[in-house]
Chain A
Amino acid sequence: MISTEAQKRRSALLVGCGTLLGAAAQILIKSGAGALGPHASILQTAVGMITIPALFFGYALYGVYTVVLILALRHGELSVLYPVIALTFVWVTIASALVFHEEMNAAKLVGITIIMGGVAVLGRGDKSDKK
Chain B
Amino acid sequence: MMVEIKDLYKSFNSNIVLDGVSFNVTEAENMIVFGRSGTGKSVLLKCMIRLMEPDAGSVFIEGKDVLKLDLKELNELRKDIGFLFQGAALYDSMSVRENLEFPLIRNFDLDKKEIDKRVHFVLEAVSLLEAIDKMPSELSGGMRKRIGLARSIITKPKLMLYDEPTTGLDPITSKEISALITELQHALKMTSIVVTHDLLCAKIIADRAIILDGGKIVKEGSINDLVTSEDPLLKNFFSDEIIETNGSLK
Q: Do A and B form a real pair?
A: no
- Show the binding face of B for A, using Cβ within 8 Å: none
